[in-house]
A and B are shown apart, each in its own frame.
Chain A
Amino acid sequence: MSAAAVHSLWTTAAEPISKIDAPKIEYGQLSPTLIVIGAAIVGVLVEAFVPRKSRYYAQVFVSAVALCAAFAAVVALAAGGYGTTKAHIAAMGAIAVDGPSLFLQGTILLAGLVGLFTFAERRLDPAAHGNRVDSFAAQAASVPGSDSEQAAVKAGFTTTEVFPLLLFAISGMLVFPSANDLLTLFVALEVFSLPLYLMCALARRKRLMSQEAAVKYFLLGAFASAFTLFGIAMLYGYAGSVSYATIAQVVDGTVTNVDPALANTMGNDALLLIGAAMVVMGLLFKVGAVPFHMWTPDVYQGAPTPVTGFMAAATKVAAFGALLRLLYVVLPGMRWDWRPVMWGVAIITMLGGAIVAITQTDIKRLLAYSSIAHAGFILAGVIATSKDGVSSVLFYLAAYSFVTIGAFAVVTLVRDAGGEATHLSKWAGLGRRSPLVAAVFAVFLLAFAGIPLTSGFAGKFAVFKAAAEGGAVPLVVIGVISSAIAAFFYIRVIVLMFFSEPSPEGPTVAVPSPLTMAAIGLGVAVTLVLGVAPQYFLNLASQAGVFVR
C-alpha cells in the first residue's frame, strides 16, 4: 500500500467526523436519575475518604437527601406537565419522559427511601462488642466462620458500602422503565442487577446461605441477560435499529428506508418473533414469572431481609415498567402474537405461585411465592392492552411495593438467638405475645390476600377489571381462583399468629429504631389509605397511563 493511498484513506475517513453533533442532553428532565447516580458516586467517595466511624451517618444522610431530592424532581417534572402534555423522548431518543416513567420513578424512589430505612436499621441485631450493627456482614470478603470474620466483627466493621450500592441499583431501576431503546434497556438492567447480586451476599447471619443465594441469582441473572441480549440482537437484525419507535414502525410496516446493510434480514418475522420472545423472557425473569421464577424463593430467603424487601418491591416495579413499555410501545403491532403467550404465562404464574406457597414453612419463602402469584396478577393487567390496563398496573405496583417492604420489615423484627426466626412454627401465638406487631403483619397479609379496605383489594380489583374489559374474562376467573388459594396461606399465618398456643422457646420481638418503625408505619398507612380511599391515586395512575411514542 502506498503512502498516498494511506493519506487518501485518512483524509476520506476524516471528513465525516466534522458532521457528528454533540449529543443534546435534557439534564432537567433526567435529573431524578442523575441525582441518584451522583449521590451514589459521592457515596463511593465517602467510603474512600470519610473516617470509618462517621461513614454510616454520612452514607445514610447522602442517600436520604438524594432520594428525597430525586423524588422532589419527579414531582416537579410531573407538576410541570411532563407526565402528560409535555411528555417526550429525551437524551437523543434513549430515555422517555412520560406519565408511566414518572409514576414508576416516583414509586421506585419512595420504595427506595423506605428500603433505605430498613437498610439503616441498627438496633435489631445485638451489639457486637459494643458496636451497633445492621443486617449486613461485618466484612463481606472474609470467609464465613473464619478467624478474619471474627476479627472483623470484633473490630466493629460494618459494610457501609451497601448504601452506594443501593443508590446504584435505584439509578438503574429509574432508567429501566423509561428506557426507550434496547441498549439503554440492557445497560439499565445490568446497572441495577449487579448491585443487587452483591447485596444479596451481604447477610450478617447465615452467611453461607446468603452467598449461595447471591451466586444463584448472579448465575441465573447472567443467563437471562444473555437471552435478553441475544433477543436484542435479533430485533436489531429485524428492524435495523434498537430504537423503540423505529422497531415499532417496522413492525407496523410503515418504515420506508431500508438499511442496505441489513437488507437480507429486515422485516423477517421469524427474527421479530424470536427476538421479542427472548427480550420478554429476560423481563419475565426479573419479575419472577413462572417458569423463570425459580431463583425467587432461594434468593429471597438467603438475602438479607432488608435487601429482600427492597428487591421484591422495587425490582418488580422497574421490570414491569420496562415490560409495559416494551409491549405497548415496541410490540403493539404484534399483540395478537404475544397476548396468547402472555395469557399462558400469567395463568401458570398465578396458579403456580399460589399453589406452591401452600406448603411453605418459611415465612420468607412464603412471601417469595406470594410475590410470584402477584406477578401473575399484574400480568393479567398487562395483558389488557388498554389505557386502563396500564394505569391499573401502575396502581397495583405502587400499592404492592409498600405492602411488601412493610411485610419484610416486620420479618426482621421477629428474632431468636439465631437471628431472624423465619420458620413459620416460630410465629405461632405471636399475636398473644406481641399483639401490635402481629396485627400489623395481619394487615399486610390481608392486603396481599386482597381483602377490601386494604390497598391489595383496590389494586386487584383495578387489574382484574381492566383485564375483563380487555376480553380476558377466563383469565380473571383463574385469577380469582388463585386469589382464593392464596388467601388460604395468608389467613393461615394470621390463624397461626392469633389462635395458636405460643411455644415456650418462641422468638422475641425486637424493638426497632424509629427507622424501621417509619418503614412499617408508612407501609400500614399507605395500605389503608389506598384501600379506604383509592380514588385519588387511581386518578393519578389513570392520568399517568399514556406512553410517549
Chain B
Amino acid sequence: MENLIALLIAAPLLGAAVLLVGGRRLDAVGHWIGTLLSTTSFVFGVILFADLLGRNADDRTLMQHLFTWVPVAGFQADVTFRLDQLSMTFVLLITGVGSLIHLYSVGYMEHDERRRRFFGYLNLFLAAMLLLVLADNYLLLYVGWEGVGLASYLLIGFWQHKPSAATAAKKAFIVNRVGDMGLSIAIMLMFTTFGTFAFGPVLSHATDASEGRLTAIGLMLLLAACGKSAQVPLQSWLGDAMEGPTPVSALIHAATMVTAGVYLIVRSGAVFNAAPDAQLVVTVVGAVTLLFGAIVGCAKDDIKKALAGSTMSQIGYMVLAAGLGPIGYVFAIMHLVTHGFFKAGLFLGAGSVMHGMNDEVDMRRYGGLRKYMPVTFVTFGLGYLAIIGFPGLSGFFSKDKIIEAAFAKGGTEGWILGTCALLGAAITAFYMTRVMLMTFFGEERWRNQPTRSPEAPSAEPAAEHRGEHAEPHPHESPKVMTIPMIALAIGSVFAGGFFSIGDRFLHWLEPITGHSEGDSPLSAGAVTGATMVCLVIGVGIAYLQYGRRPVPAVAPRGSLLTRAARRDLLQDDFNHVVLVRGGEHLTRSLVYVDHTLVDGVVNGTAAGFGGLSGRLRRLQNGYARSYAVSMFGGAALLVAATLLMRAV
C-alpha cells in the first residue's frame, strides 16, 4: 500500500510533463488529460484513506522510501514520503478540490487558446503541493514549497500579456522569496541543532534543544508561513494574485497553497510547543491578519479582491489556532478543510458570475443577478452562509471551535485573542453580506451603464475591450462549471457537521497533533452565543447599508478608514516607502561607494602601475649601448649582492 504514495504525486507530475512537453498536438484533449490525471490522484488518495481507516489509530503512518537524494557523510537527504492522518487530510483536500476545479476550468477556460498549458500548470501545482504535504523531511518539503511557488507564479501571470498580471506574478514571487529565506534558514538551523532535518528525529527530539534555538527555528518557520499564507507582514501579494484566472484563485489562493503555512506550523507543532515565545508571535500574527484581511475585504468593490481579503482573514483564524498549540491544532486544520470547501465554492461562484458578466469584476456593476444565475446564487449563498458561520453549516463548527480555543488559551492573552476572533466574525458577516447583497440583490446596475469612473478598479482590462459598451447578458454557466460548484456547496454545508458530530475529526487527527482542552473562562455555550450576536450585528449593519439603500454605481469617497482599506490598508504604500525607497537608497549609496571608493582604489592602482609602466618603458630607448650599460650594471649588482650575502 505504501507504494501508492509516490503514484499520488506521479500522476499529476506525468500530466504536467505530457501537457507541457506534448505541444499543440494535445490542444484538443489536454484539459481532459489534466482532469483525468488529477482525478486519478484523488482515487489513489481515497484508496489510501480507506486503508488508513482500516488500521489502528496508532498505526496510521505509512512511509515510502524512494531513494537517497543527497548521500554525503553527515548530510543525508532522502526522498521519503510520509502519509499520516495530517497529510492524508491534505491529500484528499488537494486532490478532491483540485479535481473539481480542473473540471470547472474545462468550462471556464474554454475560449482560451492556451488552455492546455493552463492545465499543465495546474497539474504541476498539484504535484508540487502533494510533494509538500507528503515529504518526510524539511528539505524535500522545501522542494514542494518552491514548486508550488513556481506554479503560483506561472498561474498568476498566466495572462502575462496584461502588464498587471505580469507585475502581480512577479510581486507574489518576490514577496514569497522573503518567506522562503525563512524556511531555508529554519532548515539550516535544524541541521546545526539536530544534525538532520527529517521529521521523525527533529520533532521527537525537539525538547532536547535549547529554547532559544527552538524559538529561532519557530520564528523562521513562521516567516515562511507568513510568506506562503499571506499573513501580515508578507500579505501584500495575495490581493494582486487575483489577476490569475479565477479557478487558480479558487484552488491555489484560497483552498490549498495559501494554507501551506498552516500545515507547516501544525506539522512542526513539537517545535512550537517547546517555544512559547514563538507561539505567542504566531497567535499575534494570526489575530492581526484576521482583522486586517477582514477590514480590507469590507472596502473592496472587486469581488475577487473582497474574497481575497476574506481568505487572508480566514487563514488568520487558522494561524491563530495553530499558534494556540495543542488546544488549536486540530481546529486549525478543520477550519482549513471547511474553508477549502466554502472558499473554493465562493471563488467558483464569483468566476461563474464573471463568466456571465463579460468578465466584469466590479460589484457595483452587478446587482439582482439571482434571477439570471439561480445555481450560482444558491451555491454561492450556501458558501456565504458557511463562511459567516450560520448555525449548522461548516463554518459554524470550525470557526466557533477556534474562537473557543482562543479563549481557552487563558489569561489576558486568551481574552484579547478571543475578542479579536469574535470581532473578526462580526466583520466577516458584514463584508460577506455586502458581497452577497451587491451581487445578487438590489437593482440591476449593469443595465444602462454610465461611462466607467476612473476610480473604479479595473483589474481585468480584458473586460474593457469586450464589455465596455456592450450591455452584459447575465446567464447561468454550463454544467461543467456548475457541477463542481454544487459539489463544493454540499461540502460547505455538511463537512463541518460531519467532522464535529462525535468529534470525528478530533479523534482522527489527535494521534498526530495531540490535543488539550485548555481552560476556557467561558462556557462553550456562551462563546457560541456571543458569536451568534456578532453574526447578527454584522449581517444587520450590512443589510442596513447595502440592502435598504441603493448601491451607488460609483464608489463614494468614504471615510478615511474606507479609503485606506481600499488601498489594502496602505500595505503597498508602506512597502514602497520603507522597502522600495529604502532599498533604492541603499543601492544608490552602495553604487556611490563602489564608484568613488572601490573604483577609486582600483583605478588609482591601475593608474599608478600605468604611470610606472610608462616611466620604466623609457629606459628601453633602443640603443644597444644603453642596454649594455644596464647589463654591466646588473652584473656588477649581481656580483656585489652575491659577495654581500657571503659577508653578512
Residues on A close to B: CB < 8 A?
Answer: 215-216, 219-220, 223-224, 227, 269-270, 273-274, 276-278, 280-281, 284-285, 290-292, 294-295, 297-298, 336-338, 340-341, 344-345, 352, 355-360, 485, 488
**12 A-B pairs in the complex with CB atoms less than 8 angstroms apart:** A216-B627, A223-B628, A223-B631, A274-B642, A292-B630, A294-B620, A341-B638, A344-B641, A356-B617, A357-B613, A358-B610, A485-B609
Instruction: Give, as a whole number of angstroms, the nearest-CB distance from A405 to chain B.
Output: 24
**Closest chain B residue to A281, Cβ basis:** B635
**Closest chain B residue to A359, Cβ basis:** B613
Given A216-B624, A216-B627: A355 in contact with B645 (beta carbons within 8 A) = no
B639–A220 contact, CB under 8 A?
Answer: no
* Distance between Cα atoms of A493 and B642 in the complex (Å): 40
Residues of B within 8 A of A355 (CB): 609, 612-613, 616
Residues of A within 8 A of B639 (CB): 273-274, 277-278
For the complex, is B646 an interface residue (Cβ under 8 Å from A)? yes
**Closest chain B residue to A348, Cβ basis:** B634
For the complex, is B622 an interface residue (Cβ under 8 Å from A)? yes
For the complex, is B633 an interface residue (Cβ under 8 Å from A)? yes
* Distance between Cα atoms of A529 and B253 in the complex (Å): 55
For the complex, is B74 an interface residue (Cβ under 8 Å from A)? no
Given A219-B624, A357-B613: A224 in contact with B631 (beta carbons within 8 A) = yes
Nearest 3 pairs of A and B residues by beta carbon: A291-B634, A294-B627, A358-B613
Q: Which of A281, A285, A345, A352 contacts B616 (CB under 8 A)?
A: A352
For the complex, is B560 an interface residue (Cβ under 8 Å from A)? no
* Distance between Cα atoms of A355 and B630 in the complex (Å): 18
Instruction: Give, as a whole number of angstroms, the nearest-CB distance from A3 to chain B.
Output: 53
Residues of A within 8 A of B632 (CB): 223
What DSSP secondary structure best describes chain A's contact surface? helix
B641–A341 contact, CB under 8 A?
Answer: yes
Instruction: Give, as a whole number of angstroms, the nearest-CB distance from A18 to chain B.
Output: 45
* Distance between Cα atoms of A215 and B622 in the complex (Å): 12
Instruction: Give, as a whole number of angstroms, the nearest-CB distance from B637 to chain A.
Output: 8
Q: Mark B477-497, 1 if CB is under 8 A from A, else 0.
A: 000000000000000000000
For the complex, is B552 an interface residue (Cβ under 8 Å from A)? no
Q: Which of A215, A281, A358 contacts B638 (CB under 8 A)?
A: A281
Q: Which of A290, A344, A359 contacts B610 (CB under 8 A)?
A: A359
B613–A227 contact, CB under 8 A?
Answer: no
A277–B635 contact, CB under 8 A?
Answer: yes
Residues of B within 8 A of A280 (CB): 638
For the complex, is B606 an interface residue (Cβ under 8 Å from A)? yes
Residues of A within 8 A of B643 (CB): 270, 273-274
Residues of A within 8 A of B622 (CB): 298
* Distance between Cα atoms of A290 and B630 in the complex (Å): 9
B614–A277 contact, CB under 8 A?
Answer: no
Residues of B within 8 A of A278 (CB): 635, 638-639
**Closest chain A residue to B619, Cβ basis:** A294
Q: Mark B545-570, 1 if CB is under 8 A from A, else 0.
A: 00000000000000000000000000
* Distance between Cα atoms of A69 and B635 in the complex (Å): 40
Query: By the criterion of a CB under 8 Å from any partner CB, how many residues of chain B are at the interface?
Result: 29
Residues of B within 8 A of A227 (CB): 635
* Distance between Cα atoms of A291 and B627 in the complex (Å): 9
* Distance between Cα atoms of A488 and B602 in the complex (Å): 12
Q: Which of A224, A274, A337, A356 contacts B620 (CB under 8 A)?
A: A356
**Closest chain A residue to B643, Cβ basis:** A273
What DSSP secondary structure best describes chain B's contact surface? helix
A220–B628 contact, CB under 8 A?
Answer: yes
A220–B627 contact, CB under 8 A?
Answer: yes
Q: Which of B613, B634, B646 contacts A337 (CB under 8 A)?
A: B646
* Distance between Cα atoms of A352 and B620 in the complex (Å): 12
Instruction: Give, as a whole number of angstroms, the nearest-CB distance from B632 to chain A.
Output: 8
| Beyond A220-B631, A277-B642, A485-B609, 15 extra complex contacts between A and B, CB < 8 Å | A216-B627, A220-B624, A277-B635, A277-B641, A281-B631, A281-B634, A291-B637, A292-B630, A292-B635, A337-B642, A340-B641, A340-B645, A356-B613, A358-B613, A488-B606
Instruction: Give, as a whole number of angstroms, the nearest-CB distance from B495 to chain A.
Output: 62
Residues of B within 8 A of A269 (CB): 646
Q: Which of B624, B631, B637, B646 contacts A285 (CB under 8 A)?
A: B631
Residues of B within 8 A of A294 (CB): 619-620, 626-627, 630-631
A277–B613 contact, CB under 8 A?
Answer: no
Residues of B within 8 A of A276 (CB): 642
Residue of B614, B622, B639 with most partner-chain A CB within 10 A: B639
B638–A277 contact, CB under 8 A?
Answer: yes
Instruction: Give, as a whole number of angstroms, the nearest-CB distance from B240 to chain A.
Output: 41
Q: Which of A219, A297, A358 contacts B609 (CB under 8 A)?
A: A358
Residues of B within 8 A of A338 (CB): 642, 645
* Distance between Cα atoms of A216 and B623 in the complex (Å): 8
**Closest chain B residue to A222, Cβ basis:** B628
Q: Which of A216, A219, A336, A485 contacts B645 (CB under 8 A)?
A: A336
Residues of B within 8 A of A219 (CB): 624, 628
Residues of B within 8 A of A485 (CB): 609
A359–B631 contact, CB under 8 A?
Answer: no
Instruction: Give, as a whole number of angstroms, the nearest-CB distance from B614 to chain A.
Output: 5
Given A219-B624, A220-B624, A278-B635: A273 in contact with B612 (beta carbons within 8 A) = no
A341–B610 contact, CB under 8 A?
Answer: no
* Distance between Cα atoms of A355 and B609 in the complex (Å): 6
**Closest chain B residue to A280, Cβ basis:** B638
Residue of B614, B626, B631 with most partner-chain A CB within 10 A: B631
Instruction: Give, as a whole number of angstroms, the nearest-CB distance from A221 to chain B.
Output: 10
Residues of A within 8 A of B630 (CB): 291-292, 294
B633–A291 contact, CB under 8 A?
Answer: yes
A295–B627 contact, CB under 8 A?
Answer: yes
Residues of A within 8 A of B619 (CB): 294
B645–A337 contact, CB under 8 A?
Answer: yes
Instruction: Give, as a whole number of angstroms, the nearest-CB distance from A523 to chain B.
Output: 28
Instruction: Give, as a whole number of angstroms, the nearest-CB distance from A346 to chain B.
Output: 13
**Closest chain B residue to A227, Cβ basis:** B635
